[in-house]
Structure 1
Amino acid sequence: MKALLKRTTMKNNQIKYLLLAFTATIILAACKQKVPAKPETMDMVKKSNAYYTCSMHPQIHEDHPGDCPICSMKLIKVESTSNMDNMNIPSLRLTAIQVQLADIQTDTVREQNIGDQKTLTGTVTTDENKAEDISARIPGRIQRLFVKTIGEKIGVGQAIYSIYSEELLEAEREYLLASQQQKQLNNPDVDYAQLIDAAAHKLQLWGLSQSQIKTLASSGKVSAIVPILSKVNGTVSDIMVREGDYVTEGMPIMKTQGLNRLWVEAQLYANETGNYKENNIVKVSFPDLDDALIKGKVEFINPELSATSKVDLIRISIPNPQGLIRPGMQAYIAIGGGNSSSLAVPTSAVLTNGKGSIVYVKNTDGSFSPRMIKTGTGNQNYLPILSGLNSGDVVVINGAYLLNSEAIFKNGSGNTMAGMKM
């Protein structure tokens, strides 16, 4: 009986050992099998990749933050993603700080004036019609200059220099003598009033003002050194004499310019002059004044070409009531054109190569994607859109070259336009 129980117990133990061994084998085999990654996880791995680059030198690509080895600027992080729902067109995602550091600027596609207008680069000059020359009325020696600086403003009645002149001194004596004779002699056969008027007129011709002549009459004393007063308003542009110089009658003392109205001079090619006429109204902007825009009038088109450059001179008259515009400033003149409107983008937004033209569009999720477009003939500022964009699309107008270089680096130059069809 004991032997039977012992055999039964051994048989049960063997069955338990077999079950345990079988279970262990199954668990071990299951552990050796690889758990497949979820499709979503694989897609995210394939779709995203981050690197660090320099906004000034986009050829720099690092896998860690730091400074640019060329200019030492802080590297910005760029996350590149591939939008599989948009025919595999690559896109770039930047944070707000990265957009600011890279100076990415955008604008909305809308109707713009694409009239054919030409922009000329001109230079502000003085209006020679407003120039005045102050010359010596009598010979003498410049005793003192009251205006010694070019650019100084002078007004009517302001003393500009004093002169010692024997001729002027003698004319003063003649005037006083005629006045004294009228008071003392009172000869009815002599017209003393006419003598006084003739002497006063002579003093005026030699540069004295009415107030100076009245002062001379009331004081009864001649002066060897007489101040000469300005008869014009303007800004001194040149001074031809120095203190102590001797001058002759008609010799220039100084030159003034009226700066309340100026000229802008530019050059045209000979075949373009027929498109413009005198008295045409044009727009003039000044980069030194934050592109302030004013209206000017074509005042002169030279009928003769330059002997050396074979170009024509065009002159624009502009107002300058506040005196903000100064001779020597650069100016841009918009001439010609029209009011032709079309859906357009700024010229700075369009990148063109041998395969066509693209712009970078800002997507609703904040990423940037290239888009192939067709453009027409516009002007210097805008290009009309024939296809590829719709009104309201947001395009990159500054920084497109940076985005394009990143796309080329990640996808190759041949893949920048991959999947894009017109």
Structure 2
Amino acid sequence: MNKPFNLLTRWSRGRLIALALLAGLLTFGAGACQKSAPEDAHAHDGASTYYTCPMHPQIVRDEPGKCPICSMDLVKATKQGAAKPATAVTPAAALTHYTCPMHPQISRDMPGKCPICSMDLVKAAKAAPATPAPAGGPAAAPEVMLSAQQQQLAGIRVAALGGAGSSAGSAAGTTLLTGTITANANQTRTVSSRVAGRVERLFVRQTGESIQAGAPLVSIYSEQLQALQQEYVLSLAQQRAGGTSGNQYSRLIASARQRLRLLGLSEGQLRALAATGRPTASLTFYSPQAGLVQAVGVTEGQYVGEGTLLVSLTNLSSVWVEAQLYPEEVSGIKMGQSVQVQVAGLPDTYAGRVVFLSPERQANSKVTLLRVQVTNAGGWLQPGMQANVRLPSRSTTAATQSLTLPQDAVLRDSRGSYVWQQVDAAGRFRRHKVSTGPETDERVTITGGLSADAQVVVSGAYLLESEYQLRQGAQDSMNGMSM
């Protein structure tokens, strides 16, 4: 009886010891978990700053140190939400910080190295905090502050709206059309074959060659020409042999002479033929004017028919500029009107006059054709060059004249048009929404939103806008991380 009782007692005692050890382990684990639980940001609501890991924002400490997960240096951050009233700081201290060029979320008050990539932190200007708008009023305009060195590196150039960087009425004073220089068709001549035959000799072989009036172009062998010359020489011989009775051949001579002239023989060639009495087997065509060879349509040895193009000639002493314009712009243009032509790559401005205005639109297009004739005394204007035609617009009254800015000074998005204005000499810039009017390829009319003496950024506005957006993104990233 004692032996079973002892076994039962020993088993119960061992079970009690195991349960006690298990309870101890559970109690120790709960305490350890409570001690090592992730830090809660709410435990630091009383502090305005804390230290966190850039890669593991759930790590929050009151003092600098290393991340227990990746061993990176903890960085200083500021919490959003209710906090103690901020102490007054100077504008320079509030708008200057040090950040990493590769990791803009890193922001320090003093120089140092980036805790992520170890690059030297660079001095930068924060986006100026916008002044809170009154209840129910419009939002404050965005601002950016740049140092003098930053302005120089960004190429920021400022001009008064009514000063050298802008002008009154310039956008409404001219209309700019894009065109192309072409040859003057009134000074282009083509030489075609008047007989059927074979090209015996080419005196010009390449385009662009300069020739004088009366210079030989092409020589063509033709049996038809030879037969007509023999008929003409025979009629002359019969007239001389018949004496007074030979006058009956006068009509035959005149007929043969006229046919030879129609074939292209000159008066000199006819006199030489009558004097020698020896027909030539080839006919030479001569240049009707001085100019440049525009096209050569045949080669030596080629057989040609009547009407075949031999050589095309053009005189570039005057050229045409053909430009396109919309129908609503036609009403302000008159035939013979004086205009200014600016050719790409040439410093001079050429005077021209309107010689043609198409009464119909071009095929499959909403534009019509304008043709301007320009004197090309120096020969610098060549067909195919791009040119701009400046047309004086219809007269504008003083009420419609407005201040204008260069195209690069005006920024546009889906919400409207904006410009950047320099607020003070300390380098503070503010963005303003403006209303615009008529514009050209160079200037935009400003009809509202700015005063006439406003200092506007006319060069570097896009870089300034990008700088503001970059800093806004960096600030939003820091705010999001601190949450």
Q: Select which of 57, 76, 93 maps to 1:45.
A: 93
Counterparts in 2 of 1:362-373, with a 5 A limit? 365=425, 367=427, 369-372=429-432
Which of 100, 109, 125 is the equivalent residue of 1:80? 125
For the pair 1:114 / 2:159, whether they are aligned, the reply is no
Render the CA deviation track for 1:97-117: whole Å, top value 9, x for unaligned. x746x5555555433323165
- Residue 260 (structure 1) shift: 2.6
Q: How far did 1:93 drift?
A: 2.7
* Deviation, structure 1 residue 134: 0.5
- The one-letter code of the counterpart of 2:444 is Y
Q: Which residue of 1 aligns with 2:438?
A: 378
Which residue number in structure 1 is paired with residue 184 of structure 2? 127
Quick one: structure 1 residues 245 and 108, their matched pair in 2 at CA, closer, same or farther if it must change by over 3 Å?
A: farther
Cα distance change, pair 331–186 in 1 and its aligned pair in 2 (3 A): same
Residue aligned with 1:324, SS: coil
Q: Quick one: distance in 2 between partners of 1:353 and 1:196?
A: 84
Unaligned runs of 5+ in 2: 1-86, 112-121, 132-139, 477-483
Contact conserved, 2:326 with 2:368, CA < 8 A, in 1? yes
CA distance in 2, matches of 1:334, 1:414: 48
- CA gap of 1:300–1:368, structure 2 versus 1, over 3 A, is farther
2:462 to 377, 393, 401: 401
Q: Distance in 2 between matches of 1:187 and 1:126?
A: 56
2:414 matches 1:360: no
CA distance in 2, matches of 1:105, 1:199: 81
For each residue in 1:180-217, what CA deviation from the matched residue of structure 2 results, as whole angstroms up to 9, or x when unmatched?
999x9795676899999998776655434566667778
> What's the CA shift string for 1:252-281, capped at 9, x where partnerless?
212223333333333344455444443333
1:280 equivalenced with 2:334 (yes/no): no
Structure 2 residue aligned with 1:349 = 409
Q: Secondary structure at the match of 1:308?
A: coil
Structure 1 residue identity aligned to 2:383:
P
Residues 264 and 153 of structure 1: is their aligned pair in 2 closer, same or farther, counting only changes over 3 Å?
same
TM-score normalised by L of structure 2:
0.57
Instruction: Give the deviation of 1:163 after TM superposition.
Output: 1.8
Contact kept in structure 1, 2:402 and 2:447, CA below 8 Å: yes
Deviation at 1:142, TM superposition (A): 0.7
The code of the aligned residue for 2:364 comes to T
Unaligned runs of at least 5 residues, structure 1: 1-38, 65-76, 416-422
Match of 1:229 among 286, 292, 307: 286
What is the match of residue 305 of structure 1?
A: 361
SS at match of 1:404: helix
Ranked by relative contact order (alpha carbons within 8 Å, sequence separation 6 or more), the top structure is 1
Letter in 1 for 2:406: P
Residue 245 (structure 1) shift:
1.7
Letter of the 1:378 counterpart: P
Matches within 5 A, 1:148-187: 148-169=205-226, 187=243
Task: Provide the rounded CA distance (Å) in 1 between the counterparts of 2:197 and 2:106.
Answer: 80
1:343-378 CA distance string (max 9 Å, x none):
332232122446664433468858462352644423
- Call closer, same or farther: CA 1:79–1:214 in 2, change over 3 Å: farther
Quick check: 2:296–2:312 contact (8 Å CA) kept in 1? yes
Cα distance change of structure 1 residues 365 and 181 upon mapping to structure 2, 3 Å threshold: farther
Q: Once the 2 structures are TM-superposed, how far is the Cα of residue 316 of structure 1 from its aligned partner?
A: 2.9
Q: Which amino acid aligns with 1:47?
A: L
Q: Name whichever of 358-367 and 345-354 sits farther off.
A: 358-367
Letter of the aligned partner of 2:316 in structure 1? L
* Rounded Cα–Cα distance in structure 2 between residues aligned with 1:169 and 1:60: 92
Which has more radius of gyration?
2
Deviation at 1:175? 7.4
TM-score (norm 1): 0.64
One-letter amino acid of the counterpart of residue 309, structure 1: S
Question: What is the CA deviation profile of residues 140-195 of structure 1, one whole-angstrom value per residue up to 9, with x for unaligned ones?
Answer: 2111222222333332122211222234445666777899999x979567689999
Aligned mates of 1:116, 1:414 — CA distance in 2: 45
Q: Which has the higher strand share?
A: 1
Question: Over the residues paired in the alignment, what is the CA RMSD in angstroms?
Answer: 4.8
Identify the match of residue 92 of structure 1 among 146, 160, 168: 146
User: How many residue pairs are counted as aligned between the two chains?
Assistant: 355
- Does the 8 Å CA contact 2:318/2:373 hold for their aligned counterparts? yes
Cα pair distance change 1:153/1:45, threshold 3 Å: same
Q: 1:196 to 1:283 in 2, by over 3 A?
A: same
The alpha carbon displacement at 1:236 in A equals 2.7
Q: CA deviation at 1:238?
A: 2.7
